[in-house]
Amino acid sequence: MKAFIQRRLLQFLPLVFGICALNFVLIQLAPGDLAEVVAGETGQVEDGAGSAEYVAELRHSFGLDVPAWAQLAAYLKRLVTFDLGYSHRFGAPVGDLIRERVAATALLGVSSLILAVGVGVLLGVLCARWRNGRLDRAVSAAMALCYSVPVFWLALMLLVVFGVKLQWFPIGGMQEVGIEAAGPWAQARDVLWHLVLPVVTLAVYSTAVYARFTRASMVDTLQEDYIRTARSKGLSELAVVFRHALRNAFLPVLTLIGANVGELLAGSIVIETVFSWPGLGKLTYDAVVNRDTSLLLSLLFLSSLLVMAASLLVDILYARLDPRIDIKR
């Protein structure tokens, strides 16, 4: 097992390097450099002779006056030590900004993943078992709609209906101000209350994806020869569908889950923005609005690492479930 993990980590290394290099290239692509932009904002550019010196000073302080390869080396060194730099827009080290918001995004992401996988896989199994029945047709039609809905729009619509008009759920934020005073249970309940709309919105698209995919995978699996063997043993339909079919059909779904972590992060950007959820997604949006490229790139780096970690987790789980994969090699 350890060797397996080590091997996969080794495979990830060039990818990590590639992302760093990509980041660096993108920084260089941005028109104008940071020094000019910052100088422009502080209003010092209007000055005659003094502005050029100021810009040069800024450039030096940002480390931009050394040749490109030296900048790359410096950048890599910083990334490796997780020194993600300083955000001038927000006036705080990037590391701090990220650390404050990780938990919120994690809560949102994991909850919606569990919801989407649970509901989606179950629906997919039921649809495949009674193919073309009324349930299948109804659910498939509903899933087709859910698959077509823009996440941010659904968020706004749900906000309007449930937050504004019906007022069943709060329209933003993660918790009421000062709720900590009421004790941990009250705080947890409050967070949960705030969590409902964002999680449901984020889960809708994913549920449709997993439901459709599980259905297709189950339909394929139910036509395999070993299902016929299972039926020839006189096993109940429940045993055939769950013990024999689903255990095999779930494997490609697992791979899909790993591949879709990136989509989850994308969804969280718009969701957190709409619901003012204080997480990494909202930070991303703010960075976009403020054109804070270095923050964006740090977020890119971090989320790539996250996807890699999720991918590794999925691989391990897959190897556990599929005996054909030799985990000791």
Shortest distance in whole angstroms from residue 14 CB to another protein:
7
Residue whose CB is less far from another protein, 4 or 152? 152
Contact code string over 194-233 relative to another protein, x by CB under 8 A: ----------------------x--xx--xxxx-xxxxxx
Residue ranges in 126-155 that form contacts with another protein under rule CB under 8 A? 131-132, 141, 144-145, 147-153
Shortest distance in whole angstroms from residue 258 CB to another protein:
10
238 belongs to the binding site for another protein (CB under 8 A): no
Residue whose CB is less far from another protein, 82 or 130? 130
Selected binder of another protein within 71, 285, 314, 316 (CB under 8 A): 285
Site size toward another protein, by CB under 8 A: 73
Region binding another protein by CB under 8 A among candidate stretches 25-33, 80-88, 179-187, 196-204: 25-33
Residue whose CB is less far from another protein, 60 or 137? 137
Shortest distance in whole angstroms from residue 186 CB to another protein:
28
Shortest distance in whole angstroms from residue 203 CB to another protein:
17
Selected binder of another protein within 2, 10, 13, 31 (CB under 8 A): 31
Tokens 């040069």, located at residue: 56
Shortest distance in whole angstroms from residue 183 CB to another protein:
33
Shortest distance in whole angstroms from residue 38 CB to another protein:
17
Shortest distance in whole angstroms from residue 234 CB to another protein:
4
Selected binder of another protein within 40, 85, 173, 262 (CB under 8 A): 262
The 3 state secondary structure assigned to the chain is: CHHHHHHHHHHHHHHHHHHHHHHHHHHHHCCCCHHHHHHHHCCCCCCCHHHHHHHHHHHHHCCCCCCHHHHHHHHHHHHHCCCCCEECCCCEEHHHHHHHHHHHHHHHHHHHHHHHHHHHHHHHHHHHHCCCCHHHHHHHHHHHHHHHCCHHHHHHHHHHHHHHHCCCCCCCCCCCCCHHHHCHHHHHHHHHHHHHHHHHHHHHHHHHHHHHHHHHHHHHHCCCHHHHHHHHCCCCHHHHHHHHHHHHHHHHHHHHHHHCHHHHHHHHHHHHHHHCCCCHHHHHHHHHHCCCHHHHHHHHHHHHHHHHHHHHHHHHHHHHHCCCCCCCC
